[in-house]
């Protein structure tokens, strides 16, 4: 893997950037632009949907962004506001998505048509703003991808008649269940197409006599599931984890997510500060790698939501805790942490795209 030497921790600024940020996102991948979608809280503590193009932040309005891609020179993003509604943007132009209190999680573009996955009283996706309802009752579609032949894969979960949470994919609207451990649950958080095959990234939960349901990061290639070695088990002081996003390149499978560690109690039963908590990780072909950075803040340290790889450079988006905030937007570049808005701006870096 190429060694990336970019971190002189210079201070940079722009008309939209906080001037206490550390690190530079310019020229991380030679000749390419890095896009990171998420949100920050503004000075009034309102959620502000935004994305970062290299070192420049672009503000789009109230709410949060959940996904971003670039196609034919245009930036496509999607998101929602809590209790409000869902939207997608082409560059900085917003388009409302039909529904009541809808939420949008993932976006793709095919032949000029815009596809957005989400939920509106159950799983659905939108094509150019028109809603297509998906079967499943209590359900949600978290990821969407369109194959070169036009097949549409929306994936997420639904709750069956036995109250199990079932990971599922809707291919061209027809639902297919994905595998889970015996008597377990699961859900899909993201979908990618590689070499014509759909890959699904998320988590499963397996019953355990000692700790109840133990979650694990998982991915599915087609219908075949792989549970990742993210721990889990009472004797390891690791509760378990989940996958939030994934990427495939040259046949290698990358998964971004987190692991929850069980906290240790002191003599009087109080939690020992620094023990336990949520930590960001990623996996390459099943091997786990820790992401450094973040302070222990009320059982939160960090989380990873998405991952991309280009020119042997691994970039992960997420958030880290600081002494003053439980979550500030961040990326890791070859495991080196960059705070997008410094250490005192609440927010999350949810999705990543390189173009």
Per-residue pLDDT of 199-225, as tens digits, reads 999 999 888 766 677 889 999 997 899
pLDDT at 23: 64
The candidate with the shortest Cα–Cα distance to 169, out of 156, 181, 184, is 156
- Rounded to the nearest integer, the mean pLDDT of the chain is 88
Antiparallel, parallel or unpaired: β 238-249 and 197-208: unpaired
Helix (H, G, I), strand (E, B) or coil at 212: strand
- 214 or 113, higher pLDDT: 113
pLDDT at 6 over 50: no
pLDDT at 16: 41
pLDDT at 211: 62
Q: What is the mean pLDDT of residues 96-114?
A: 95
The candidate with the shortest Cα–Cα distance to 156, out of 146, 148, 166, 147, is 166
The residues spanned by each domain of the chain are: 35-43+111-354
Q: What are the φ/ψ torsions at residue 236 (nearest 5 degrees)?
A: -100, 0
- 212 burial (CB, 10 Å; 0-12 / 13-18 / 19+) is exposed
Helix (H, G, I), strand (E, B) or coil at 300: strand
Establish how many alpha carbons lie within 13 A of residue 83's alpha carbon, considering only the half-sphere containing its beta carbon: 1
The answer to whether the beta carbons of residues 86 and 79 sit under 8 Å apart is yes
pLDDT above 90 covers a percentage of the chain that reads 68
Residues with Cβ within 8 Å of residue 277, at least 6 apart in sequence: 260, 261, 263, 296, 299, 300, 301
Distance CA 237, CA 5 (A): 36
Antiparallel, parallel or unpaired: β 93-96 and 103-110: unpaired
Mean pLDDT is lowest, of 178-192, 228-242, 260-274, for 228-242
pLDDT at 159 over 50: yes
- 82 or 128, higher pLDDT: 128
pLDDT at 88 over 80: yes
Q: What secondary structure, in 3-state letters, does 40-93 show?
A: EECCCCCEEEEEEECCEEEEEEECEEEEEEEECCEEEEEEECCCCCEEEEECCE
Is 3.30.1310 the CATH classification of the domain at 35-43+111-354? no
Q: What is the mean pLDDT of residues 69-80?
A: 97
The candidate with the shortest Cα–Cα distance to 244, out of 253, 252, 234, 255, is 255
The answer to whether the beta carbons of residues 280 and 302 sit under 8 Å apart is yes
């Amino acid at each position: 893997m190429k060694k990336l030497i970019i971190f002189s921790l210079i201070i940079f600024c722009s008309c939209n950037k906080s001037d206490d940020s550390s690190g530079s996102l310019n020229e991380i991948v030679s000749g390419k632009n890095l896009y990171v979608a998420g949100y920050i809280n503004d000075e009034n503590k309102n959620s502000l949907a935004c994305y970062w193009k290299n070192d420049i932040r672009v503000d789009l309005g109230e709410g949060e962004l959940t996904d971003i891609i670039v196609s034919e020179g245009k930036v496509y993003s999607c998101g929602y506001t809590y209790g409000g509604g869902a939207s997608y943007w082409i560059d900085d132009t917003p388009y409302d998505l039909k529904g009541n209190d809808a939420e949008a999680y993932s976006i793709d573009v095919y032949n000029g048509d815009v596809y957005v996955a989400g939920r509106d009283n159950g799983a659905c996706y939108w094509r150019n703003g028109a809603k297509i309802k998906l079967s499943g009752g209590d359900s949600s579609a978290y990821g969407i991808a369109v194959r070169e032949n036009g097949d549409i894969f929306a994936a997420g979960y639904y709750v069956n008649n036995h109250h199990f949470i079932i990971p599922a994919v809707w291919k061209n609207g027809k639902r297919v269940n994905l595998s889970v451990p015996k008597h377990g649950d699961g859900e899909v958080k993201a979908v990618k197409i590689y070499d014509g095959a759909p890959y699904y990234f998320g988590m499963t939960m397996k019953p355990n006599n000692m700790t109840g349901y133990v979650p694990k990061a998982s991915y599915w290639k087609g219908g075949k599931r792989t549970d990742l070695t993210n721990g889990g088990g009472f004797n390891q002081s690791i509760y378990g984890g989940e996958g939030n996003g994934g990427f495939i390149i040259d046949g290698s499978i990358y998964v971004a997510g987190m692991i929850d560690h069980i906290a240790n109690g002191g003599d009087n039963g109080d939690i020992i500060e620094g023990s336990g908590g949520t930590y960001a990780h990623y996996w390459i072909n099943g091997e786990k790698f820790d992401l450094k950075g973040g302070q222990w803040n009320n059982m939160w340290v960090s989380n990873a939501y998405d991952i991309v790889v280009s020119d042997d450079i691994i970039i992960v988006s997420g958030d880290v805790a600081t002494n003053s905030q439980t979550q500030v937007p961040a990326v890791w570049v070859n495991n080196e942490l960059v705070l997008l808005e410094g250490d005192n701006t609440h927010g999350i870096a949810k999705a990543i795209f390189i173009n």
